[in-house]
Amino acid sequence: MRRTPVLGALALAAAPLLAVPSAHAAPSAPPAIVQRHHDASRLVAVEGTVNFRDLGGYETYFHARVRRGVVYRADALDHVTDAGLRKLADLRLDGVVDFRTPLEVSTDGPDRLPAGSRVTARPIDDTGMFATVNAAIGSKDPARQEAVLGDGRGAAIMRTLYRSFVTDPESAAAFGRTLRETADRSRTPMVFHCTSGKDRTGWMSYLLLRAVGVPHRTAMHDYLLSNEYRAETDAAVRARLESSGYMQDAELLKPIQDVRPEYLEAALDEVRREYGSVERYLRKGLGIDGHTRARLRHHLLTRH
């Protein structure tokens, strides 16, 4: 099922890829701001995606490293090509967790995966953002689009979304369950994803890295890499929306497409307000007790 120009141009928390030739171009290398992450090797070349990454390689406070080839984070898998399917088969994924809402799945289609793949649908609420922003785009009305997205309102929408990751009980339950299942999986490879692989997936990745002892600045760095890997595709989406007449100023979408420190900090502000610290949030808010964290570290960390 092909996406319409509007719904294909924007899904939860970002504008996902349209069928543009540049969608799979190699990203430019981001700056090494915390550790030497070798970020160019972090991207996994699954054709039909632009933000499929290995969470391995990051260093913890106690000088262990996250194992490579065990946990992956990704954008939507509904446009995976035949070559991409072969790559997914090579990864030997034993589980896929899909955070997309039913509306996103019905619009964009189900994941395209190797035969026999186990998929867990675990939708995380979007606070109405998908419908609100798509309605504004679909109106083709510059004044309406400005009213929804202009003058900082796009960024405010994103901060509201990120706060809901902490305050919404069902969202918290979904993130906590994914962490516990990761702890129970031993070292069998898995991937979790949403539509653009940056917001729900970004928060999930941040929590997982922090749970095994990766410092905040490093986990923030991983979160911000989506800007590097999605830049070309997102720019193409904006250009397509303008050329097709849906938007006169598609730069209004930039705050929705981006990941920004202020978005992650909006969630962390809620964590600190409700729980005092990430440690207490993991334990009290998500049900990740010491035994679960020990299993996560045993399965995901290496000294080599």
Beta bridge partners of 66: 301
Q: What angle do CA 119, 125, 129 make, to 5 degrees?
A: 125
Cα radius of gyration (the chain):
18
Give the type of residue at 135: A
CA distance 24 to 11: 19
| Residue among 7, 11, 105, 194 flagged as catalytic | 194
Instruction: State yes or no: is 194 an active-site residue.
Output: yes
Q: What angle do CA 53, 297, 45 make, to 5 degrees?
A: 10
Strands 190-193 and 95-98: parallel
CA distance 98 to 252: 28
C-alpha distances in Å from residue 156, one per residue of 66, 109, 133, 152, 246: 33, 29, 13, 6, 22
CA distance 113 to 69: 18
Which pair of tokens denotes residue 297? 């570290």
Which of 231, 239, 247 has the alpha carbon at shortest distance from 148? 247
The conformation of residue 151, written as its DSSP 8-state character, comes to T
Q: Looking at 199-260, list the stretches that DSSP marks H as alpha helix, in order from N- to C-terminal side.
A: 200-211, 216-243, 254-257
Order the strands of the 190-193 sheet from edge to edge: 53-54, 71-74, 190-193, 95-98, 119-121
CA distance 263 to 198: 11
Mind telling me the catalytic residues? Answer: 194
